[in-house]
Structure 1
């Protein structure tokens, strides 16, 4: 079915992009019962949402001939949770409205705010941005929303999860009550429903997800690998599954750096995206994926939303996602717009049950597999060679003299051997890893290489508050006011600092900060790893040793402090503090 009642300028843009039929969400927002109404839409990532609300807002922005109306102040506002998503939305709207004369301006963190202010002052029809930066321009009087006709909240559930409720309410309160509002979300949870009830009028509810079922265009697989074989397992997955582009997700920047270095050293054309990169560096990395200069992107969850690479056919979870929503959003980078994709989760045997619960909560049916073997990869390479375009293409004029000479001077066996040699030489070599079958542990699996370990000496238990000789002290940016507690501080310190539990000495919790002692031989490594932590996590810096009067009580409390209530504390590293977007 063609796009219904689309103005000529937009219809021409859709045709140039190869859009022939609308997706379900696009068809729903363009239906007769949606005209002129507020819309509350649940649609999964990759379903064509941007084009959907771009078409739906056209009646407020364009005249009968499809040209942009005069706009002394912005007519449409699109709010997105991340810089990547906001810039992607802007790019989509730019080509969609290319023939209308509409001006589109982006306002996102990481960009020069003065340039954005100048662009807003010159006038525009559509503003696309992140909540924090948009509120900043609003407070500085750079952004005037008095004439707004349409407000769009894209990925509203993610913005609420990131703690942007106050910014969203500030922005919506500054818009005229007569404006239309489109609220797009993967799920319509209670908080989303409350936001819609407050800021929408008689909104049309559109559900194109179908009971929030997982994406049917994505095949899910899971692989067990020993901890020391995780990188080798990821390399073998990338080699076995043929995809022009793949994305691998890690929890931390340090994990991204290590995996990125391993892939590049193994011969993969790879780029990395994490919070330490500036916006220009991220944009260049994404562009290298789109134009084929890079095949693999290693990223933290900062890239889980807002990256749309048409050729991306494989997503690998190098670390377990923290929630079902994160699993689905990471995986949603593939299988977009009707294309098929594969999602592979690589984990250790000790976390298999956790992985099963995660995927069950996400409604995902997954097949457990062993790590791809070298023989399986070579067999797949053979099939790819036999079906390669190189064997079926016609030689061009400039190649014929060389082709004729090779045929005359070399035997068929020599030519075939040369082809196989050059084919294999261009591919990264697979890695030999131990095979761990589902239901077994790494101890049950036969070793893939010699490993000898000296028996461990029994270690005496140590009190958490006991200081160690020659230890170095560090200051953490959370304290008792943040519900700091050794129960969750110790795992966080180990993860951010690249150390183990035995390297941690005394922990002293103050009202607004925490002092922690690290073994002297691990202090340098700890400082380097901690300095690379994401800005929205706990900040860690060197500190002086505390005086004896600050000695903690047995549970890490300073003398005289009141014990915390017996309830599970909130880990601030998992809380919503990313308002720097």
Structure 2
């Protein structure tokens, strides 16, 4: 299908926005089979579904007329799960229907309901809102449903996940029985199927994108990292990719707050989005990203729902998503409207199998590698800074700048390379420093491999044996185990003796004089790697003193 059969005002709006051909979901809703029917549509985030249902509503709103009638009681209702998404839908439908004289009104939580009531009283062709606020306006009589010809439920699966089932049913019960119902959902779980069966008539099922073919514009990567170095790895990925806007996903508000603070301390221009923010604070954070005052957004899954940032080029999963759908939803924030995007999963090497299962279940392909090293980041810096310096030096300077340059060269008489080096220092100065990471190999240790470390601990005495619940099955490897034990237990490499890697656990020896200190440190640990449990295999007694070197 093409846009050729659409009403002229909509064709003009699409042409002005640079739309030449419809996307898969837009083409699907414009087929003759879909005309006038209820639709149950599966479409990925960023696939152009807002414009799709805007076009699908055209027969009910415009028909064969050159323009929409004067605004009065609304003709169509769009229900969205979050304020951000509802406001973005309003913006999309506004430009799409502007040449046809369309008036779009939003009704969302967190905004002034009195102002919304006045806007509704002035008339609207389409009303866009969140479930709770729309239900409230319906019950108060501010929103007249009698003239509604169509209702759209956008991201219906998320609305059910957020507990809006009762509100959705109440809204649909208030609308005319002969209305057209368009239900858009990334997935169609049992709850969505039941909703469709109860409130749609002979709905046409459309799968606009095959689950086996996720976004082709998103490159997936899986980066192996030591469990306690996730935040350092976030720093290096941000520095390596240098995206115009990046989004970092965390599982909890507390993690968002901690990571946001750490990134800000390291020099990143960062905002945070979590459920505890007011609508004004959320709007300010998003505007900072769009204006370029911030480049990194740290967010929870719920807080990021409905956010659309066209320049978002990088998504980082600082904590693994809980399921394949969440992985796709997070990643779908990038790679939109034909732009390329990168989605990086930071996978603790102890949870590699979980990462592999997530990626396989989401039916995406990801390249596995260690998290970016300092050397890799600095090498990429050299490429970018070289290009930036060449660009600056080829620009034609003003006569005043050239005169000052000649004066400085005459006074200092530096070699040409010294002048260029000074320029590079200035360009490099604002960049946050990359972080040193433990080297993680991209392969499991051989099952029959002997432990790589069998030296006795310092002092030559028999040490105290400890056990940790990570073994070969969890990708245990002395390359990261030894630095990890030193950090976790506040000991030196010389105070760790033999290491035995078994299938499901690792046993290791600590020098007797350091055993009590080690046991106390691992008990107190509140770090990111606290899920790795370490316990002594024998009672830890008062230790002998550390041997003194002979004088």
CA contact (8 A) 1:138 1:144 kept: yes
CA contact (8 A) 1:14 1:96 kept: yes
**CA drift at 1:62:** 2.6
Other structure's SS at 1:98 match = helix
CA contact (8 A) 2:389 2:424 kept: no
Show CA shifts across 1:114-143 (max 9, x none): 222222222211111111221122222222
**CA drift at 1:197:** 2.4
How far apart, in 1, do the equivalents of 2:113 and 2:212 lie? Answer: 38
Counterparts of 1:156-235 in structure 2, within 5 Å, are 156-211=156-211, 213-235=213-235
**Structure 1 residue aligned with 2:269:** 269
Give aligned pairs, total: 465
CA contact (8 A) 2:240 2:376 kept: yes
Bigger Rg, structure 1 or 2: 2
How far apart, in 2, do the equivalents of 1:120 and 1:333 lie? Answer: 32
Distance 1:387 1:500, change over 3 A: closer
Distance 1:164 1:384, change over 3 A: same
2:22 aligned with 1:22, yes or no?
Answer: yes
**Structure 1 residue aligned with 2:515:** 455
CA contact (8 A) 2:137 2:143 kept: yes
How far apart, in 1, do the equivalents of 2:8 and 2:392 lie? Answer: 42
2:300 aligned with 1:300, yes or no?
Answer: yes
**Structure 1 residue aligned with 2:260:** 260
Counterparts of 1:482-521 in structure 2, within 5 Å, are none
**CA drift at 1:449:** 11
How far apart, in 2, do the equivalents of 1:126 and 1:346 lie? Answer: 42
**CA drift at 1:421:** 0.7
**CA drift at 1:393:** 8.1
Distance 1:213 1:71, change over 3 A: same
Question: Structure 1: which 5+ runs fail to align?
Answer: 460-493, 503-581
Distance 1:140 1:402, change over 3 A: same
CA contact (8 A) 1:4 1:30 kept: no
Other structure's SS at 1:205 match = strand
**CA drift at 1:42:** 1.0
- The two structures have a TM-score, normalised by structure 1, of 0.74
CA contact (8 A) 2:39 2:183 kept: yes
Other structure's SS at 1:224 match = strand
**Structure 2 residue aligned with 1:527:** none
CA contact (8 A) 1:432 1:448 kept: no
**Structure 1 residue aligned with 2:285:** 285
Other structure's SS at 1:302 match = coil
**Structure 2 residue aligned with 1:415:** 419
Counterparts of 1:117-132 in structure 2, within 5 Å, are 117-132=117-132
**CA drift at 1:278:** 1.2
How far apart, in 2, do the equivalents of 1:299 and 1:316 lie? Answer: 10
Distance 1:240 1:501, change over 3 A: closer
Show CA shifts across 1:14-68 (max 9, x none): 2222222211111221223322222221111100000111111122223645422
- Provide the aligned C-alpha RMSD in A: 2.8
Show CA shifts across 1:207-245 (max 9, x none): 111145432221211223233321111000000113111
How far apart, in 2, do the equivalents of 1:224 and 1:73 lie? Answer: 56
Show CA shifts across 1:503-549 (max 9, x none): xxxxxxxxxxxxxxxxxxxxxxxxxxxxxxxxxxxxxxxxxxxxxxx
Distance 1:163 1:212, change over 3 A: farther
**CA drift at 1:500:** 9.8
- The two structures have a TM-score, normalised by structure 2, of 0.78
Other structure's SS at 2:515 match = coil
